[in-house]
Amino acid sequence: MPMHVMSCFRLPKGVTNKLFSAVSNFWWSINGQTRGMHWLAWKKLCRHKRDGGLGFRVLEDFNTALLRKQLWRLLDNPESLFSRVFKGRYYRNATPLDPIKSYSPSYGWQSIVSARPLVNKGLIKRVGSGISISVWDDPWIPASRLRPTKGNGINFYPYLRVRDLMTPEKSTWNLPLLNKLFDTLDVSLIMGIPTSHFDKPDSMGWFFIKTGRYTVKSGYMVAQENPDDDGMVPFGPDIRCLQAQAWKISCTQKLQHFMWQILTGCISVRARLRARGMQIDPQCMRCGMAAETINHMVFECPPALQVWALSPIPTAINRFPIEGLFTNMAYLFWNLPNDDRMRMYPWLIWFIWKARNDKVFSNGDWDPNEIISHAAAEASAWTMAQTRQTSVRTISTAMVDTIRSGDRCQVDGSWKETDPRGGLG
């Protein structure tokens, strides 16, 4: 992506659409030349993995987050050359956040000020002297959500400043006045804000990060809080927890992605292809007893049932496997016994899928015991590789710590003194 350009200028809508199209076609294409079938809307793929997507970036929101970084620089470093040039040209007696109309503004300035809505979502006023902070209008309360104070009745002081809530002698909070103006929750939050005996100037901070300094990652997350424009409230079961769990399974990333495809419906079984408009017979080619849905292919088809029955995975009538795909996957994710043999189920599903493809395209038949043996061997090999990798990482860390400490270390089977600077003596 053109990161440098996006951090300085707002990309036109036509450019972002072309970039979207290129990435989407590459993702769904089989060989990089054909278009491929787009199983899921790009908007859903751009959701975070914990929300059922794949975490692709929405370029408009990422562009805004990068431009917000430039706006933060104008606010955070007012004495820099970058800030003084823009201040002298566009906001001499104001701040970059004030909606001031400029005569013939540059495209760079228009791009930067287009990030103002994102700034207003997370900008919080940090209390110093309190002179420049409005009690009722500015967000300065450190609550769970960014907001000003809540009044305790009719507001008789519309132009009240935070400084007016402090005692003039010791610069501490005036508790009787706070109890008079605000509710109990806000009084406790205000009393937790530290005050200064010196005239420390008020400052601004980013609410969504502990350090108070804006980062592009946090800005993008804020921009992605409400990605749906239709405002529709989803009904029915929420499967996002299942889709998020698919990325936490102890297996290869290829199998994690395959589990996500199963839960999202991005598998080219015959029923799904028929639903996408392809004129084919939806019946299962392995058994011919029912429509080939994803659940039928993985759990209900007789060859698949034989695999599950002969595998170490415990089965139970009316519990697993059953007609519900999400129920079956939830059983595998969270209800299996604590046994190392249970971790082979991603490979079982994968080889069931491979056996189905071999039957459809080559008319080959796999023995259920062969599928189980392949799955067990692959799972065991992956587990051993992970164990070796962890051991090598631990040994490497220990050796680095030993060398840095200046102690003795073993080289070529003999112990030698080490130089405290990191070399061998």
Q: What is the pLDDT of residues 284-332, one digit of tens each?
A: 999 988 999 999 999 999 999 999 999 999 998 888 999 999 999 999 9
CA 395-401-403 angle, 5° bins = 100
Domain range annotation of the chain: 3-119, 128-201, 240-381
Dig out the tokens for 362 from the structure: 């080559």
- C-alpha to C-alpha distance for 267 and 245, rounded to whole angstroms: 18
- Picking from 262, 253, 237, 252, the residue whose alpha carbon sits closest to that of residue 332 is 262
pLDDT recorded at residue 11: 93
Pair 33, 42: CB distance under 8 Å: no
- CB-CB contact of 284 with 270 (8 Å): yes
Q: What is the pTM of this model?
A: 0.79
- Which amino acid, one-letter code, is at 19? L
Q: How far apart are CA 259 and CA 280, in angstroms?
A: 25
3-state secondary structure labels for all residues of 318-329:
CCECCCCHHHHH
- Please state, rounded to an integer, the average pLDDT across all residues of the chain: 86
CB-based burial, 386-411: b 16+ in 10 Å, e otherwise: eeeeeeeeeeeeeeeeebeeeeeeee
**pLDDT surpassing 70 at residue 411:** no
Q: Please provide the DSSP assignment of 359-387 as one string.
A: HHHH-----HHHHHHHHHHHHHHHHHHHH
* Per-residue pLDDT at 180: 87
Q: What is the pLDDT of residues 111-144, one digit of tens each?
A: 999 999 888 888 898 898 888 899 888 899 888 7
Query: 418 pLDDT band (50/70/90 cuts)?
Result: very low
In this prediction, residue 262 carries a pLDDT of 96
